[in-house]
Amino acid sequence: MPTYTDSVLYQAKRQELVNQLRKAGITNEKVLAAINAVPRHYFLDSAFEHFAYENRAFNIASGQTISQPYTVAHQSALLNIAKFDKVLEIGTGSGYQACILAELGAFVHTIERQKVLFEQTSKFAFIKQKYPTIKLYYGDGYLGLPKLAPFDKVIVTAGAPFIPPALVEQLKPGGIMVIPVGEDDKQQMLKIVKNADGTYEHTITGSFTFVPMLEGTGKQQ
């Protein structure tokens, strides 16, 4: 169990991480402030807690990972979150990315396909109390959440072999989707902007490594 207390030491480490991200090219000050505001050590097993502010990914339950802070900052910056944006996240995992988006003022609807992780993150009191604007769902992210569509923004935090059509459909015209696309352990981070006629443009913003986006719900297939 992580320790749910912040400390001067952890605050200093968080500030150091923010400085590191700035040097690595993250320029969006709102995103940097959000990284500074959310205690990442709450999201890790206590065994890794002391490394929480290193720019590294870590294992969480069910063979999944909490993304590297640089990746979280990069994806969050690409989304260009405005206050009250309705955001769909695929891959809740630890809930850390969802908290960063909520800290930026978004209403976050986040889907996880692993039951154990979904239940664990749903029970996490810090998220419930601090970010009641986050709603968690158990399901297959390939399908999105059609009943709640359209969304201003969509973020996928698992490596997708292709762009899931349902997610583009559920994006508002003018909306932004950020998704790592590619097989195996290398994905290109795409920023997709949907046009008024339903077509979309994409730009490639760098190479990343994610756990795979799998179809259906349950264990690894």
Catalytic amino acids? 67
Q: Which of 112, 124, 154, 179 is in the footprint of ligand SAH by CB under 6 A?
A: 112
DSSP 8-state assignment for residue 144: -
DSSP H or E run through 5: none
Residue 20 CB neighbour total at 10 angstroms? 15
Separate counts of helices (H) and strands (E) for the chain: 7, 9
**Distance (Å) of CA 100 to CA 31, 114, 119, 130, 197:** 8, 21, 20, 12, 31
Cβ closest to ligand SAH, residue 149 vs residue 173:
149
Min CB(100)–ligand SAH separation in Å = 8
Residue 186 Cα to chain centre, angstroms: 18
- In the window 3-62, what residues touch ligand SAH (CB under 6 A)? none
Query: What is the x/- site pattern for ligand SAH, positions 130-169, by CB under 6 A?
Result: ----------xxx--------------xx-----------
**Distance (Å) of CA 62 to CA 53, 219, 220:** 22, 8, 9
| Window of 6-14, 44-52, 76-84, 112-120 that interacts with ligand SAH by CB under 6 A | 112-120
Q: Determine the Cα–Cα distance for residues 158 and 182; give it in Å rounded to an integer.
A: 10
Q: Which of 93, 144, 175, 182 is in the footprint of ligand SAH by CB under 6 A?
A: 93
Our finding on whether 214 is near ligand SAH (CB under 6 A) is yes
Min CB(99)–ligand SAH separation in Å = 8
Q: Which of 42, 58, 96, 208 is in the footprint of ligand SAH by CB under 6 A?
A: 96
Cβ closest to ligand SAH, residue 39 vs residue 141:
141
Min CB(196)–ligand SAH separation in Å = 28
Q: Determine the Cα–Cα distance for residues 103 and 146; give it in Å rounded to an integer.
A: 25
Q: Determine the Cα–Cα distance for residues 190 and 65; give it in Å rounded to an integer.
A: 20
DSSP 8-state assignment for residue 85: -
Our finding on whether 113 is near ligand SAH (CB under 6 A) is yes
Footprint of ligand SAH (CB under 6 A) = 64-67, 90-91, 93-94, 96-97, 111-114, 117, 140-142, 157-158, 211, 213-214
